[in-house]
Structure 1
């Protein structure tokens, strides 16, 4: 993977893409967990966003490690690095939680039909049965787990980003203004 694109480090580009996907997945996960209509319409899209973000996290952290290798060592970069290394676990947890919620939801929404012989000719007719429902307790537990992991992932994304921003921008306000000429 290239370290630079057009003379700029690739890390900030990957960070922004990963963060946008994670924030969308976090918001979508919370909404999907608490609002069945959102879950029905967008649940699998939320899962896809979480999965894509999970796949991007290792590339993002690797590009950050490459960039950190070019910079002087600092406590701020070390803290950002430490927090970033934990992001994969939050991202995987979010993907698994949303995926489990969607599997249970999909199973509960499936209609079951039974073929019944009708008439003397033995023709078969499909008779809809009551939809299979996952136990209410399992659905509630998965929704709570999804909300918890989503909130935790959202908080952790913020912490990683805040540490990275501080590593880059802290102290800039004390620098003299540059003239435009």
Structure 2
């Protein structure tokens, strides 16, 4: 995918990643910590994580197309290098979402209350792992977005207003 309505697809698709990664990360942490939330989210949690996962390579591929169509710049290269590192985080979010969903489903189906997945050690491990992966994913999205904004805007605007009418 290269262009959408004449605009580089990357500048549009990136908004999905910027919204979906933190949203998915937050949902996974909530569901890992609070099993009732995991049961209420149900299949929506892994579906959200799958959509998030799918949006990352689409956005990266569109970014690679855009990189080939702009002047070579160290800021653009840094942004592209950072962007290549998001896929493992998105994959981690998906795997955790699937595991949290499966564990919640399994514990809800176990009427005897003896499910090994609903035990405190497993829930603590899932919560800690979810916090680590969620934090890593969100920090990575921030770093990528910051580098992309610097690459796009470093010489693209004037620090002073160009005319008095611009202040209105």
Bin of the TM-score, shorter chain as denominator length: 0.7 to 0.9
| TM-score of the superposed pair, with normalisation by structure 1 | 0.81
Unaligned runs of at least 5 residues, structure 1: 113-129
Deviations 1:38-81 (A, max 9, x none): 22212532321111111111111010000010111111111110
- Residues 1-181 of structure 1: pairs in structure 2 closer than 5 A: 1=1, 3-112=2-111, 130-134=112-116, 135-174=119-158, 177-178=161-162
Supply the distance in 2 between the matched residues of 1:43 and 1:152 (Cα, whole angstroms): 24
Please tell me the root mean square deviation across aligned C-alpha atoms, in Å: 2.0
Matched residue of 2:70: which SS?
coil
Question: Is the CA contact 1:77–1:164 (under 8 Å) kept in the aligned structure 2?
Answer: yes
* C-alpha separation in 2, matches of 1:176 and 1:143: 48
**How many equivalent residue pairs?**
163
Q: Please tell me whether the aligned partners of residues 28 and 45 of structure 2 are also in contact (alpha carbons under 8 angstroms).
A: yes
What secondary structure does 2:72 align onto?
coil
User: How much has 1:161 moved relative to structure 2?
Assistant: 0.8
Distance 2:26 2:102 in 1: 19
Query: 1: CA distance between counterparts of 2:144 and 2:23?
Result: 17
> 1:16 is paired with a residue of what secondary structure?
helix
SS, match of residue 140 in structure 2: helix
Larger Rg: 1
Verify the 8 A CA contact 2:28 2:100 in the aligned structure 1: no
Q: Per the alignment, in what secondary structure is the counterpart of residue 115 of structure 2?
A: coil
2-structure distance, mates of 1:160, 1:55? 17
Structure having the higher helix fraction is 2
Shift in alpha-carbon separation, 1:178–1:6, aligned structure 2, 3 A: farther
Structure 1 stretches of 4+ with a deviation exceeding 3 A read: 171-180
- Alignment match, 1:126: none
Instruction: Work out the CA distance in 1 between the residues paired with 2:34 and 2:126.
Output: 13
Unaligned ranges ≥5, structure 2: none
